[in-house]
């Protein structure tokens, strides 16, 4: 069995569309002004770039995750590009085809962030969350649960609560407008704790 290293890459819509067109198996060739391909070494840094760069520029930012053959990746040692956790691998554009050949398994869309939206009919705390600079539209939580969060125009009511999303099994995420409690499957959170889960 091949030893692998998990990498992340923040990306915009155009690049993600090209990855999807490859069958989620390869990164597209670099543009002439992109001499280096920069996958990053931790999810935190990828989320930061997706939310702070991609979302303001395009209204959407994605975090992708993929595994690379560890022995091959050793050719491109980790580079500290800023703070202690700002870690990247620098792969020259001309090496990208060979790099793609050493990706093990599919490239996974780990998270999708969207620009703030208004929801005038939502409870104040949830409306404030969605109106922020960026919010998690879809992605994996720390426990591995995949969640899709609804835009305000996608919400519905059920038993006095608002359905504000669904998990990967299609179970509703219900926000009790009166108490601020959020129910996700068998779990129950106060709204502040739930928002913290989404913002990790």
41 and 135 belong to one structural domain = no
> In which band, very low, low, confident or very high, does the pLDDT at 1 lie, cut at 50, 70 and 90?
low
Domain boundary pick from 55, 87, 112: 112
Segment 145-162 shows an average pLDDT of 92
Using CA atoms in the order 171, 176, 180, 181, what is the torsion angle rounded to 10 degrees?
A: -50
What 15-19 contacts at long range (C-beta under 8 Å, 24+ apart), as own/partner pairs, is 16/62, 16/64, 16/109, 19/64, 19/107
What is the per-residue pLDDT for 125?
87
79 and 174 belong to one structural domain = no
pLDDT of 167 higher than 90: yes
Q: Which residue has the higher pLDDT, 73 or 196?
A: 73
Domain boundary pick from 48, 82, 112: 112
Using DSSP's 3-state secondary structure scheme, residue 83 falls into coil
Instruction: Write out the two tokens for 160.
Output: 């006095």
Q: Which domain holds residue 183?
A: 117-198
| C-alpha–C-alpha distance, residues 127 and 125, integer Å | 5
For 80-118, the pLDDT digits (tens) are: 887 788 899 999 999 999 999 999 999 999 999 999 999
CATH of the domain at 105: 3.20.170
CA dihedral over 53, 33, 67, 15, signed as positive or negative: positive
101 and 8 belong to one structural domain = yes
Backbone angles phi, psi at 89, to 5 degrees: -110, 135
What is the per-residue pLDDT for 174?
96
What is the per-residue pLDDT for 143?
86
For 34-61, the pLDDT digits (tens) are: 999 999 999 999 999 999 999 999 999 9
132 and 154 belong to one structural domain = yes
**Which pTM value belongs to this model?**
0.92
| C-alpha–C-alpha distance, residues 200 and 184, integer Å | 17
105 and 121 belong to one structural domain = no
């Amino acid at each position: 069995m091949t030893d692998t290293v998990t990498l992340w890459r923040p990306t915009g819509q155009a690049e993600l569309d090209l990855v999807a067109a490859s069958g989620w198996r390869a990164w597209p060739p670099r543009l002439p002004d992109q001499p280096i391909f920069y996958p990053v070494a931790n999810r935190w840094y990828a989320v930061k770039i997706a939310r702070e760069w991609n979302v303001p520029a395009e209204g959407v930012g994605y975090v992708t995750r993929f595994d690379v053959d560890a022995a091959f990746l050793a050719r491109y040692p980790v580079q500290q590009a800023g703070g202690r956790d700002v870690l990247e691998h620098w792969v020259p554009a001309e090496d990208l085809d060979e790099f793609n050949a050493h990706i093990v398994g599919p490239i996974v869309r780990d998270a999708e962030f969207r620009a703030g939206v208004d929801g005038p009919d939502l409870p104040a705390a949830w409306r404030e969350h969605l109106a922020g600079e960026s919010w998690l539209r879809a992605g994996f939580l720390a426990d591995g649960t995949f969640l899709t969060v609804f835009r305000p125009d996608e919400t519905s009511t059920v038993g006095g609560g608002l359905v504000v999303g669904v998990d990967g099994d299609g179970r509703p995420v219900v926000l009790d407008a009166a108490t601020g409690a959020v129910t996700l499957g068998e779990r129950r959170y106060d709204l502040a704790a739930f928002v913290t889960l989404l913002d990790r």
